[in-house]
Structure 1
């Protein structure tokens, strides 16, 4: 056997014996997210948050390695819409989004409200009562998409930014009357601002259509390998069955999911 043939045989054997997950370890998969504390956030230059820890645990279980890229939600969302092999989290699973992504599974609870400030409370009996009011939203997030789907208008009613903390600031300085937000995010940002959410924020209207114990998920873009999808689904199920998922939730939220 010639040296060339021997080398080819060795490469073939190596390819057959290396776990298939490592095929995606060389940057062929992208992982994208946004700043949505306490789900996903940058702390000390490193990506953290309980959703991030869950995603990292799934990746460890699957043997797949990839850096997590933090970017504005609209950019992450567009990337996952248009490029194969992109994993996005924490993403709300809605009927409108259902056919746009390939869903791995839920990774975090979410409850959504229209908030106002206790010093300027807004009483709402229904979503219709919010018509004509200025509402802070995040560009392309599920809250904005929900309100757009209900007929609310950009600029005349919805004031969009790229960062959640900007919306809390807009509410504080009276640029808007209402803020549509995930509850955990609203609590975190209010506390980070040195204030007590129970004293500062008013839940003007709950939004049950957006709220669920399984509200936020991890999902892949269309065109992603079925094998990779199955690998991640099994990985998520494994960390839920072996206690890893519950331990992460207890550490961050003080209770199991």
Structure 2
């Protein structure tokens, strides 16, 4: 016996809603975590801002997703995203050590890394091995620290780990360390915030192009492995859209 038209329409509507319910429910519960990494992500006057933050918010608007962004120490943000479902993390570098740990959305900001020394105490290195004799300031679980550890450096031996980036410029300035591994924009910003000229205070002892990241040089958005591919793909499409419609370039022009 054929079902009445109204019954068939009701069944069809239910099927469509059921098909989209998992994705809708998942995106409704997205959490976003980051750290204080000026000028990419930072809190000013109680509000999160920065180039990467603006890009993330533009993606959220593009895909019509509402999500809160929390700033916390990097090690905590990293662990939260890695071990939780539907948690987006930024600004994260796509290193070989992290490649299979996360589901990568895409690059949201450029980055260039160096080992810095004070200009008044210039240290010039021709390779990373020469840095082993020096004390180096790092941030716990960030890409610079992970990179150095992967290359045989060790916390407590030649690495001094902090929870905040600004602590490392202070360590370098007051000669509690010899070198500082840092992103170029972050280093310049922190020196200027201290009222000083980066060109007069810092010298690159060694460029670290390996820290530009896989999948295109830059800082990324990513989800942990527990997040569904459908959610990740929705964010990828949102990022691609703001790159193609000019929104990304407008944001970058403000900050770079």
Same structural fold, with TM-score higher than 0.5 when normalized by the shorter chain: yes
Residue deviations 1:203-253 (CA, integer Å, cap 9, x gap): 111011113663210001112122211111110000000000000001111
- The answer to whether the 8 Å contact 1:100/1:222 transfers is yes
1:235 equivalenced with 2:252 (yes/no): no
Per the alignment, residue 157 of structure 1 pairs with 158
Per the alignment, residue 79 of structure 1 pairs with 80
Offset, 1:24: 4.2
CA 1:231–1:25 in 2, change beyond 3 Å: closer, same or farther? closer
Given candidates 22, 25, 44, the residue that maps to 1:23 is: 25
Per the alignment, residue 246 of structure 1 pairs with 249
Name the stretch that deviates more: 205-214 or 115-124. 205-214
Q: Distance in 2 between matches of 1:215 and 1:50?
A: 12
Name the stretch that deviates more: 123-132 or 82-91. 123-132
Runs of 4+ in 1 over 2 A off after TM superposition: 11-26, 211-214
CA 1:206–1:138 in 2, change beyond 3 Å: closer, same or farther? same
Alpha-carbon RMSD = 2.2
Name the stretch that deviates more: 64-73 or 14-23. 14-23
The size of the alignment, in residue pairs, is: 244
1:127 equivalenced with 2:128 (yes/no): yes
CA 1:241–1:137 in 2, change beyond 3 Å: closer, same or farther? same
- The answer to whether the 8 Å contact 1:39/1:50 transfers is yes
Note the residue ranges of structure 2 that are not aligned, 5 or more in a row: 1-9
Per the alignment, residue 3 of structure 2 pairs with none
Q: Distance in 1 between matches of 2:161 and 2:154?
A: 11
Q: Distance in 2 between matches of 1:67 and 1:214?
A: 27
Residue deviations 1:108-157 (CA, integer Å, cap 9, x gap): 11100000001221121111111121000000000000000110111110
Note the residue ranges of structure 1 that are not aligned, 5 or more in a row: 1-7
Name the stretch that deviates more: 209-218 or 149-158. 209-218
Q: TM-score, normalised by structure 1?
A: 0.89
Q: TM-score, normalised by structure 2?
A: 0.90
- The answer to whether the 8 Å contact 1:39/1:51 transfers is yes
